[in-house]
Each structure stands twice: as C-alpha cells, then as structure tokens.
Amino acid sequence: MTLALDLTDVTLVHGDGDDTVTALDSVSLHVSPGELVAVVGPSGSGKSSLLAVAGALTEATSGSVTLGGTTLTGASRRELTAVRRQRIGFVFQSGNLVPALTARDQVRLPLTFGSVEKPRDPDALLAAVGMDHKAGRRPHQLSGGERQRVGIARALVTRPDVLLVDEPTAALDRQRSQDIVALLAEETHQYGVATVMVTHDHDVLHHCDTIYEMIDGRLGVVTSPAG
C-alpha cells in the first residue's frame, strides 16, 4: 500500500531580520497515491522550495507535512533520513547521475545505503524505463533523455510512496519530453505513487492528473481534468 502526501498551510521563510524571502506562503497540497500533480509557475516562485519541503530536505517555517498521516514536521534528523531513503524518490533536471557508475549501478545505488523493505528489481526496472540494453553504459555515453530514464529508475527502485520531480524535461527536445512525462505518468499510475512534478513545459501537462500554478509562493489549482 502506498501513502498520500499532504502539505497543510506550509510557509517557508528564508533568511532573517530585514532580509527575508517568503518562498512558500500558506501552501496546502494533497497528492493521492497514483496521482501525477504538475506544478507550473515562473522562475523564483517557490517550486523547488515546495519539493524540498515535501521531500523533507528543508524544514518548513510553519505548517505541516504528512505522509500517510504521519507527520514529518518536527521529526528527528534520523527519522527524516530514513523517510527520504525509503519513502521518497527524487528526480532532477538533468538526471543527476554519478559520472563513474554504469546505468545498472546508478539504479542499485539507493539499495546500498541501508535495508529497503521491498526493492524493485534493478534490471527489471531498467527494462521498464527502456534502458536495459544500455545497462553497462556510464552517463557520458548516454543522451539526455536516456540519463533522465536512468534517474527515474533510480528514484523508483526503493518503491517510494512519493516521487518529487524537478523540471525533468528542461534539457530535452519535444519528443523526448513527451516520452519522459508519459513514463512518469505510467509509473505513477501503475505503482500508486504520489508524484509532484515541477515543470515549465506546458506541452506535457496533458499527461498530468492535476495542475497547480505557483505564483509568489502561493499555490492555486488550475485544472483537475480527471474531476
């Protein structure tokens, strides 16, 4: 069973004294298992901050973040590390792969940090993202789209409840972008992952279940095509 992600009235303020930036301003967001949420919005509006707070990388200034009803806000550093390793997957703009590792070893990497309850099989996962034939290659031997596929496989190998994706198509051409977001949608729906994808790319929004817009740290729903 996978878990829902909830942010309730989350505020994140950077800096102190007179020099503060409100990156998130009373943000509330519910993401159900199997839901692909897109967050669009201008640069500097708080999209990456939202992912950092949702993924327990950054502590909210106020408000709460819960995963399946368990509150992450206020949990110990150790508990948060465990949550990040076991329950949360991150995918970054350009894949963020380790230069020296083959695709197969990139996907195995999250399983080497400690015990994972029910990992997916790395080779089967590479096949699922269409990269099994290049499992022995290192990042410099892969295209941008291929690196992104490996990054997605790496994020999914621990069977996370939550997948957080920051501008996955920023370095890709139009067709690759469609393929990558279609893959994210497929994995999200098939494995019941609560996925939040930040994007500038309006051409990929038709793959998403719910679309939000972030403006000046405030999140508003744009559409909910599934109803």
53 binds ligand ADP per the rule CB under 6 A: no
Whichever of 41 and 110 has its CB closer to ligand ADP, that residue is: 41
Whichever of 52 and 150 has its CB closer to ligand ADP, that residue is: 52
225 binds ligand ADP per the rule CB under 6 A: no
Picked from ligand ADP, Mg ion, none, the partner binding residue 148 (CB below 5 to 8 A depending on kind) is none
- Identify any residues that bridge with 22 across adjacent strands, giving them in sequence order: 13
CB of 165 to ligand ADP, least distance (A): 12
# residues near ligand ADP by CB under 6 A:
12
Q: Given candidates 23, 54, 88, 156, which one binds ligand ADP under the rule CB under 6 A? A: 23
Residue range at the interface with ligand ADP (CB under 6 A); choices 45-53, 81-89, 113-121, 187-195: 45-53
Q: What is the C-alpha separation between 160 and 64, in angstroms, rounded? A: 20
Residues 30-59 that bind Mg ion (CB under 5 A): 47-48
Query: Interior CA angle at 98 toward 96 and 99, to 5°?
Result: 110
CB of 93 to Mg ion, least distance (A): 8
46 binds ligand ADP per the rule CB under 6 A: yes
CA torsion angle for 113, 118, 124, 126 (degrees, to 10)? -40
- Cα-to-chain-centroid distance, residue 73: 19
CB proximity list for 46: less than 8 A, separation 6 or greater: 12, 23, 24, 25, 27, 214, 216, 217
Whichever of 121 and 216 has its CB closer to ligand ADP, that residue is: 216
Q: b/e string for 5-34 if b means 16 or more Cβ within 10 A?
A: bbbbebbbeeeeeeeeebbbbebebebebb
Tell me the backbone φ, ψ of residue 163, rounded to 5 degrees: -120, 125
Q: How many CA atoms lie within 13 A of 4 on its CB side?
A: 8
199 binds Mg ion per the rule CB under 5 A: no
220 binds ligand ADP per the rule CB under 6 A: no
Q: What is the contact surface with Mg ion in residues (CB under 5 A)?
A: 47-48
